[in-house]
Chain A
Amino acid sequence: EDQVTQSPEALRLQEGESSSLNCSYTVSGLRGLFWYRQDPGKGPEFLFTLYSAGEEKEKERLKATLTKKESFLHITAPKPEDSATYLCAVLPGNEKLTFGTGTRLTIIP
């Protein structure tokens, strides 16, 4: 069974304090790993797709990396507007996304 585990469940950082969110997974035939941002009361917003181990992608203060067992979302010098829940999802061979439960990130000014 495909599984995605995100840690920590919640993370509070001071503005400017860099950190990483973890997404560990077990999946049969990974076709892609996705990161989304979700603000309260809204639908998830697509951030990145990673396809193979060693791949990295960046967007503003966010950088996503992928290994064969996990992905990290690194956030550098975060700002209060980066506060959100970050979701990870894996796409296995059956093409049905499996989502983690998310990390709720709070950036304190």
Chain B
Amino acid sequence: DAGITQSPRHKVTETGTPVTLRCHQTENHRYMYWYRQDPGHGLRLIHYSYGVKDTDKGEVSDGYSVSRSKTEDFLLTLESATSSQTSVYFCAIGDWGGHKFFGPGTRLTVL
């Protein structure tokens, strides 16, 4: 298996609370991505990073922020979680636009 992990794997939280999801890689890939996956929608890009401290917005970035202070870690933060952010979140890594590896996912429920 590729060296990519996500934590936590499952989380239940309440509306209005902050939440941080972590993606950790041991593959030294330059690019890291956060997606959400919802029924009826394909994987949708939230934010991505093309290097340490270099990030950019994706298709559905509102309500999310990211940080990357080390090559191996990419954090996704929901500043104030809403029920519409209930989803499965996937991290992906690669060296250019194509993603060779995805993480196992984090299932987030916002009550």
Binary contact track A69-109/B, C-beta < 8 Å → 1, others 0? 00000000000000000010101000111111110000000
Q: Which residues of A contact B43 (CB under 8 A)?
A: 44, 87, 89, 97, 99
CA distance A96 to B46 in the complex (A): 11
Q: A96 near B59 (CB under 8 angstroms)?
A: yes
Q: B97 near A31 (CB under 8 angstroms)?
A: yes
Q: A98 near B97 (CB under 8 angstroms)?
A: no
- Take A42-B104, A96-B48, A96-B59 as given contacts and tell me if A49 and B42 are in contact as well, using a CB distance cutoff of 8 Å: no
| Total cross-chain contacts (CB, 8 A) | 51
Which secondary structure dominates where chain B touches chain A?
A: loop
CA distance A21 to B58 in the complex (A): 28
- Asked if A43 is at the interface of the complex by the 8 Å CB criterion, the answer is yes
Q: How many A residues are at the interface, by size bracket? A: 20 to 34
Q: B42 near A46 (CB under 8 angstroms)?
A: no
State the Cβ distance, A37 to closest chain B Cβ, in Å: 11
Q: A43 near B97 (CB under 8 angstroms)?
A: no
- Asked if A13 is at the interface of the complex by the 8 Å CB criterion, the answer is no
State the Cβ distance, B8 to closest chain A Cβ, in Å: 15
Chain B residues engaging chain A, CB cutoff 8 angstroms: 40-45, 48, 58-59, 90, 92, 96-105
Provide 24 A-B residue pairs closer than 8 Å at the C-beta atoms, listed in order of the A residue: A4-B42, A32-B97, A34-B99, A42-B105, A43-B102, A43-B104, A43-B105, A44-B90, A45-B102, A46-B99, A46-B101, A87-B42, A87-B43, A91-B97, A91-B98, A95-B97, A96-B45, A97-B43, A97-B45, A97-B98, A97-B99, A98-B42, A99-B44, A102-B42
Closest 7 CB pairs of A and B: A99-B42, A43-B102, A95-B97, A99-B43, A91-B97, A44-B102, A101-B42
